[in-house]
A and B are shown apart, each in its own frame.
Chain A
């Protein structure tokens, strides 16, 4: 039994069924990446795993208990989430933003323990944002801003971290930077990561466990090598493609076929 799991999960959004009878066990200590075409329900699934969306049927369990039944503050000490488009309060500095990540560990009269201080310092260090700490978030470039948000989620010090498309709006260099950071969090700090990604090549490079979704169902899951085949690409994306080993890493690389 893994720490985070979904059993027979069905999710509705605005009265429309998005995810149907889906079961997933998130492997502990690994990087899991969810891929799939637009509107396949991958972000909705991530939101449900983070208890932001109540299931229509089925359950999400955290440490064997239904996540919806657990106090949200206690969940927040175990599971962190970075949504796709978080809002930074106007005028907030990077240091203050990252310090917000300590919220579930704080109280009205426990506002800044030594643990808070060292967690924020470590998060700034790990994401390379320590030099930016005094700047306002609106002054940052897209890549820097994304790293600051990841630093906030990191300062929360949760063993589980869910990231919804952490590389959107970033150029290729910054995408690699963020994904390398995510891998370091997993390898060096032992965090379990689940993220939604658009780019299949990058997903294959950085995932230990790949989940391919379409129409609210999981069509395939496993190692990138097992999942990414011409047949699954056709089934998931409706695209004819060749799959070759990435010359850099040996992981699968999808080359769409030329139109006839």
Chain B
């Protein structure tokens, strides 16, 4: 059955209610993502038709290496990491009720990057060890930023300023580690400077996929609580939300998602910052729109990677460069409007 603006499904004591506009946003984004994924498999050297690219993905052939070994894992890593970043950003922005509060401005991403580089430089490790170190670094950065910004409570502008400062310090620490490490490890760690999906393997894709499969549903499940918290602590409590638990779980899951993304492709700038507001706008406002934000993040990161791979071929530009090209002007605009509104 339907009612104004919603789709409702009921069976026995179970019921679901979806906003039409939200469903439309999800479907539209999924379609765009499918088209982009296909383009990512087709374009490059050699450029293939859609049919040939899919055949190359499934079976042996001339293009099997280019598609199955180079492009597909890169695409999948980008999809998962982008979704992690988009979801992480939207969760933090909803929690803080401020579009500036994304993990890249709060220092979480930089902390995860430092953790990852430290592990690579010290042990040359890849894989799960890097992800664990990224998670540790991200959580440590979150605790540090929270502690430094604490003044009888947390205010968003103080969090963001402290986060940016801590982010710069962590980034400097990453640079120092890079200069002191041997050449091989340094080249392996280079992608942590701008964030890139270059030379991603199936192992990276699997790791990012598992991270998203575990943390993604947790994040989406927190959406209801976040939605109520946007009406203020008092209203949310009055509506039966355990606000302390939701806050803590949101920060933990958001840091985890950012760490998964950083372990997969380095600290790609601005995806987490931009995806949330776009997802919210597309789904018509009125809630955190976590699903659309995750799809938007995946779309942005994969589009940036495709652009970096194809536009100036054979030169390969890191995806982080393109996300910064979109993200930096957006951040300036956001700061200008926030200052005008008196929010900063």
Expressed in whole angstroms, the Cα–Cα distance for A47 and B16 within the complex equals 33
A95 within 8 A of B: yes
A87 within 8 A of B: yes
Complex partner residue of A88 from B6, B231, B242, CB under 8 angstroms: B231
Residues of B within 8 A of A112 (CB): 6, 8, 10, 15-17
A80-99 CB contacts (< 8 Å) to partner B = 80-83, 85-93, 95-96
Chain A interfacial residues counted at CB < 8 A: 44
Shortest Cβ gap from A95 to chain B (Å): 7
Residues of A within 8 A of B5 (CB): 93, 95, 134
Chain B interfacial residues counted at CB < 8 A: 35
Interface residues of B (CB under 8 A from A): 3-6, 8, 10, 13-17, 19, 97, 152, 221, 224, 227-228, 230-235, 237-242, 280, 284-287
Residues of B within 8 A of A76 (CB): 238-240
A51 within 8 A of B: yes
Quick one: given A95-B5, A108-B224, are A86 and B240 in contact (CB under 8 Å)? no
By the criterion CB–CB under 8 Å, are B16 and A91 in contact?
no
Residues of B within 8 A of A109 (CB): 14-16
Complex partner residue of B17 from A74, A92, A104, A111, CB under 8 angstroms: A111
Residues of B within 8 A of A100 (CB): 227-228, 231, 239
CB-based closest 3 A-B pairs: A91-B285, A76-B240, A112-B17
Task: Tell me the nearest residue of chain A to B8, going by C-beta.
Answer: A112
By the criterion CB–CB under 8 Å, are B17 and A103 in contact?
no
Expressed in whole angstroms, the Cα–Cα distance for A112 and B10 within the complex equals 8
By the criterion CB–CB under 8 Å, are B235 and A89 in contact?
no
Tell me what chain B mostly uses at the interface: helix, strand, loop, or mixed.
mixed
Expressed in whole angstroms, the Cα–Cα distance for A134 and B241 within the complex equals 26
By the criterion CB–CB under 8 Å, are B227 and A81 in contact?
no
Expressed in whole angstroms, the Cα–Cα distance for A103 and B243 within the complex equals 13
By the criterion CB–CB under 8 Å, are B4 and A51 in contact?
no
Could you name 7 residue pairs across A and B whose Cβ atoms are closer than 8 Å? A82-B235, A93-B286, A96-B286, A110-B15, A112-B15, A116-B15, A153-B238
A251 within 8 A of B: no
By the criterion CB–CB under 8 Å, are B287 and A77 in contact?
no
Residues of B within 8 A of A216 (CB): none
By the criterion CB–CB under 8 Å, are A72 and B240 in contact?
yes
A239 within 8 A of B: no
Complex partner residue of B235 from A77, A86, A108, A133, CB under 8 angstroms: A86
Residues of A within 8 A of B228 (CB): 100, 103
Quick one: given A83-B232, A87-B231, A88-B231, are A72 and B237 in contact (CB under 8 Å)? yes
Known: A73-B242, A86-B231, A87-B235. 20 other contacts (CB 8 A): A47-B234, A50-B238, A72-B240, A75-B240, A80-B238, A81-B235, A87-B232, A89-B230, A90-B286, A92-B285, A93-B5, A93-B286, A95-B4, A100-B231, A101-B239, A103-B239, A103-B240, A108-B224, A112-B15, A156-B239
A110-135 CB contacts (< 8 Å) to partner B = 110-114, 116-117, 133-134
Task: Tell me the nearest residue of chain B to A76, going by C-beta.
Answer: B240
A39-95 CB contacts (< 8 Å) to partner B = 47, 50-52, 72-77, 79-83, 85-93, 95
By the criterion CB–CB under 8 Å, are A73 and B240 in contact?
yes
By the criterion CB–CB under 8 Å, are B4 and A134 in contact?
yes
Residues of B within 8 A of A90 (CB): 285-286
Residues of B within 8 A of A75 (CB): 240
Residues of A within 8 A of B233 (CB): 52
By the criterion CB–CB under 8 Å, are A110 and B240 in contact?
no
By the criterion CB–CB under 8 Å, are B286 and A89 in contact?
yes
Task: Tell me the nearest residue of chain A to B13, going by C-beta.
Answer: A110
Quick one: given A96-B286, A108-B224, are A51 and B237 in contact (CB under 8 Å)? yes
The residue among A90, A103, A117 with the most chain B CB atoms within 10 A of its own CB is A103
